[in-house]
Structures are given as C-alpha cells and as structure tokens.
Structure 1
Amino acid sequence: MASFVYKSDPVRGRVWAEIFARQAPQLDFRIWPDIGDPAAVRFLAAWEPPPDIRGLFQNLEVLFSSGAGVDQFKFDELPSDLPVVRMVEPGIIGGMVEYVSWAVLSLHRDMPQYQSQQREGLWKTIQVQPAAKRRIGVLGLGSLGQAVLGQLRGFGFDCAGWSRSRHQLEGVQCFAGADELPAFLARTQILICLLPLTDATRGFLNAGLFAALPAGASLVHVGRGPHLVEADLLAALETGQLAQAILDVTDPEPLPTDHPFWRHPKIWLTPHIASMTQPETAAEVVLENIRRFEVGEGMTGRVDRGLGY
C-alpha cells in the first residue's frame, strides 16, 4: 500500500488522518516519526522536510508544504525533479483577509492614536477620512494579495497592487516591475506586504522604499520577517516618515525579550497569527491535488523553482 507521511503539527495531523481515512483509504496515512516502510512513501507534507529526503524516501513523488510559504525549504537540497506544492486553502486566505482588514481599518480609523490618548486620559476626536480617500497598496498579487484587495475594495478604499509580473484586477490599479514601483509607492498611504520571500525580496522593506512613500504612511507587514530591515523601520518611525507599523512577522521569531519592537509606541506586534492553515480544509486541498497528480492534471500551488514560489 502506498503511504502519505505528515511531518508537521501532530494535533492537526490527527485531523488530517481522520479525513484521509474517510476519503482516501487506499493511502496509508502516517504521522512523523512513524513513517512505516520508507519505500512505500509516495507523498510527504511537511513544514521542514527531513534531511536527505531522496535517500530516506526513494519513491517520493510529491512534496507538499504544510503552510502557505516555501521559503523554509532548502531547494538546493531537494531533488530537482521533485514537485513541490505550497498550501493554497480557504482557511489561510480567510484568516489573512480578516487580519489585514482589521489592521487597515485600525490605521484608517486612527486606533493607534486613540489608544495613546486613552493611556494619557485624553478625550479628543480625530476627523474621520472617507475610505475612498485612503490609498491602500498591496505588495504581492498572489492568491492572498488578490483576496485582501477584494475585501478592501468592498470597504471603498482606493486600492492598488504591485508585483513583478503584470496583473489585471477589477477596481485595482495594478503596477508591475521595478520601473513602476516608485509610482506605486508614491500613491500609497497604507502599505501591505504580502510578498513571497526570495533572494530578490529579502530586505525589500528598507530605507529607500520607506522614503518613496508619502510622509506619514503606515506599514502592515504580513509577509516574512526577512523582508524587513529592522533598523530602517525604526529610523523611519523616529523621523515620522512612517506613522505606524503593524507587524505579524519578524526575524527571528520570537524576538529577543529586549528587542525594541516589543515596547515601541508606534509598533503593534502579533506572533505570526495573521493566517493559519486549517486542518480540515488543508487536507481536502491536498487530497484534491493528489487526485489531480494521479490523472496528470496541474496541481494547485505548484512551485516554480525558478521564481521560488
């Protein structure tokens, strides 16, 4: 019997096991480190694959990421012919849309300032700006970026997006490539980072980028910690070039207890909880991708090794 090995959170793994038992009884579902016969393993879902993956699983046919990203994978250590598939499932998308909506609405309605005023015992109103006059910009137009923009458009925000490749999205001003990045940044008051982490995007959120935003802009960072140059963010907040930052990702995670982000008055920090894989829908998505693989159809979320996502 062919087998499927799950190497991630064992609590979620038990939910996967129940779903596989009902829907794919022909697969022997195993939770790491109980791998059974290594030669029988055709499919592996993991956050971090084991070392020497081909040596351990000689007949492995597909590697699934148990999360939305694959930047934790060391591609130079993976067989070049092994398909790698990232997680694209409704739970991840829904969670990200909720978190970014909360963050953008909090910034739009001046909640950081009101929180500060509360601590000071100050009762003072701030003029409300219509959503249509607030310019939102999303870095990264993959499935998460597009879903976030769809929700923010519904609130009436003036929305734009930027990515390496050209996109066309209804009601969204789309920018593409390095040449169009300055214009995208110049019109963006609340910047949302949803970029994949690659060599090209590491350190992308830096002093030069912050300087290209309008003075007093804000940042919502829900990509990956290494996108951000921390010293540049602190400097931009100090000068007022940035008014506020909401960060769900850092480098490292967790931050040291003496890190300045923890107590910075202009930073809201959450522990990488913007979106989480939901085991019920994740297992369904993986099973559908296995079905597609078996009949020769393209798998949803298959990674382009050249792009890194």
Structure 2
Amino acid sequence: MRRILIAVRNNREVFADLFRAELPGHDVVTTEPDDETPTAYAVVGLPPPGLLASLHGLEVVLSLNAGVEYLLASGEVPDGVPLVRMVDPGLVAGMVEWVAARVLAWHRNLFDYAALQSEARWKPLPEKLAGERTVTVLGAGELGRPAAALLATIGFRTRIWSREPREIPGVTGFAGRDRLAAAVEGADVLVNLLPSTAATTDLIDQALLDRMAPGGLLVNGGRGATLVDRDVLAALDDGRLSAAALDVFRAEPLADGDPYWGHPRVFVTPHVAAISHARTSVAVMADTIRRHERGDPLLHVVDRARGY
C-alpha cells in the first residue's frame, strides 16, 4: 500500500478525504511519518523547510500550485523524482475569469465609476468598443492560452507572447525575447501570466511599459518578481499607466505601508486570481498517481532547467 502525504497548509483533512475516496487502496496521511514506511507521493503547497528532504522512497512530488519556483529554490526535490505542477480545470477557469473581470472593469470605466460614486458625482465617461483596444498577454501556457482566447472572443484585438510560437485562433502570436517589444508596442492592456524564472524576473520594466499606449492597464496574475515595482509606480504616477490590477507580489502578504496599498490607481487582490479547488485539484493529482502506477508518461512535469 503506497503512502500519500498531504502537506498543504489549509484543509488537509478535506484533501485527505478526497484522496481516500479517489484512491482507496492507498495510505493517506496528513502528518510527517515517523516510521520506516516509504512515502511514495508528497502533495505540497509551500512545505516547511526540510520536509521533502526528510522523506524517503519518494516517487512523485505533486504541487498544489501552478508556480513551482519555491519548490525549485529549496533544492529539496530529489534528483530523478518528477515534480508535477498543478494544471487544474478549476484553477484555469478562475484565472481566466479574473483576467477578464479586471480587463473589462477597466475597459468599461468601472474603476473610475467607483471613484465617482464615492464622491456622489454623476459623470458619464467616454467609452470604446473592445475592437478598439489591443490586449497583449505574456505567457502562452495553460493559463495564458485560454485567457487570450476569451479576450479575443469578447472582441479585443489580442496578442500573445511566449518563449516558443503558439497558435491560437483569433490571436496574433509573438515568440522569442527579440519579439517582446513588438508584442507590447501600442498595447492598451498588458496581462502578465508568466511563471517566475530567471528569464522573467524584472521583465516588465520602464522600457517595456513605455512601449504601451499611453494611459493603459497593467494586469499581473503571474508572479510578483516579473514587475519592477518602482517602474510600475512611476508609470502610474505620471499617467503612462492609468491603472494596475495586481494579484501577486514579490513578498506576500503585501506589507503594511507598501506603496501599492495606498495608490489610488492600484487595485489589489490577495493572490486569489487562480486558487486550487480541492475537489478538482485532487481529481487531477489522483489521475497523475494512476498514470504513474500504470507506467504511463506523466503530464505537466516541471522542466527544472526552464523552471516550469
């Protein structure tokens, strides 16, 4: 009987019960084992230091998160043990909804109307159609592709940029670092859904923001380290950006006194754009375990050299 360790911070027993229902022939535990029985599978979010290194007999590490930079940085996932990132239909749907909500709120002046309401001011603002706006999505992975597809379906002139070429109906694709500036040139909205890697750290800086159309919107649902925060704040202060919708930050929770909290043109959500739903995520992870035990190739295994 193979053991599954549930090492997530919240709702451990909920996850454990769902795993027991999906995989009744497995030993599902929620505390670090103190015996010599191997732990074949570790289900982790942000595990405490030393946990993964202390386990023996690991066959697969299953991340509850789409981003795995924390797990890679720890160096505790043993060489040769697959690290599988979360690609969950519920997580994907949540991110697509959040991105669309933020883009549409800005596009239809809902941020501005909320401010006007707080002042009891009746002031219709100029409107544009979606087809008059250009949106660029950075990242063409499991989150970026469906987000770009939905924005295109709504009617936005949609571009997507990625490391390698991707084809999405109705979306203009750009690939490679040398095409990043062209992908962002004249964009009214810039959406970041890139993973956190050495190549994406500080990618969105003053030079890239200057490529956007004046008064645009920055949406960040990827990772906080992709933004140069001082450049984003400067662009907001001088009007090059009219708003920023931010869900992720370099340090979380966002510290008291951080400039983003008090900026009137920044709209903060607490890393909730794409949460892992227990029912759907357990179904995905249980399928990964079944594939492993059948000897089938695993899906969404992290390429450690690329960082995702």
Kindly report the root-mean-square deviation, in angstroms, between the aligned alpha carbons of the 2 structures: 1.6
Q: Give the partner amino acid of 1:6.
A: I
Residue of structure 2 equivalent to 1:204: 203
What amino acid maps onto 1:109 in structure 2?
Answer: R
Q: Which amino acid aligns with 2:120?
A: G
2:82 corresponds to which residue? Answer: 83
How far off is 1:45 after superposition?
0.8
Q: Deviation per CA, 1:233-260: give whole Å up to 9, x if none.
A: 1111111111110111112112222112
Amino acid aligned to 2:8: S
Number of the residue aligned with 1:255: 254
Q: Which residue of 2 aligns with 1:104?
A: 103
Q: Shift in Å at residue 121 of structure 1? A: 2.8
* Corresponding residue of 2:216: 217
Question: Which string of whole-angstrom CA distances, capped at 9 and with x for unpartnered residues, describes residues 120-155 of structure 1?
Answer: 332111222111111111000101111111222221
Q: Is the 8 A contact 1:206 1:228 kept in 2?
A: yes
What one-letter code is carried by the residue in structure 2 that aligns with 1:24? Answer: L
Asked if the contact 1:3–1:40 (Cα under 8 Å) also holds between the matched residues in 2, the reply is yes
Partner amino acid, structure 1, of 2:19: F
Structure 1: distance between partners of 2:173 and 2:140? 9
Give, in whole Å, the separation in 1 of the partners of 2:270 and 2:291: 35
1:95 match: 94
Mapping of residues 105-254 of structure 1, within 5 Å = 105-254=104-253
The alpha carbon displacement at 1:7 in A equals 0.4
Q: Output the CA distance in 1 between the equivalents of 2:2 and 2:87.
A: 24
Residue 3 of structure 1 corresponds to: 3
Instruction: Determine if contact 1:165/1:177 at 8 Å carries over to the other structure.
Output: yes
Q: Give the stretch that moved more between structures: 36-45 or 221-230.
A: 36-45
Contact 1:30 1:36 in 2 (8 A): no
- Structure 2 alignment gaps of length 5 or more: none
Correspondence list, 1:22-61, <5 A = 22-33=21-32, 35=33, 37-52=35-50, 56-61=54-59
Percent identity, aligned pairs only, is 36
Cα distance between partner residues in 2 of 1:205 and 1:55: 35
Q: Is the 8 A contact 2:138 2:144 kept in 1?
A: yes
Moved more, 155-164 or 38-47: 38-47
The residue type paired with residue 274 of structure 1 is A
Alignment of 1:250-289 (within 5 A): 250-289=249-288
Rounded Cα–Cα distance in structure 2 between residues aligned with 1:140 and 1:36: 42
Q: Deviations over 1:214-249 (max 9, x none)?
A: 211110111111111111111111111111101111
Which residue is equivalent to 2:292?
Answer: 293
Asked whether the 8 Å contact 2:49–2:74 carries over to 1, the reply is no
Q: Quote the Cα distance in structure 1 between the aligned partners of 2:265 and 2:53.
A: 49
Tell me the matched-pair count: 307
Give the superposition deviation at 1:77: 3.6
Gaps of 5+ in 1: none
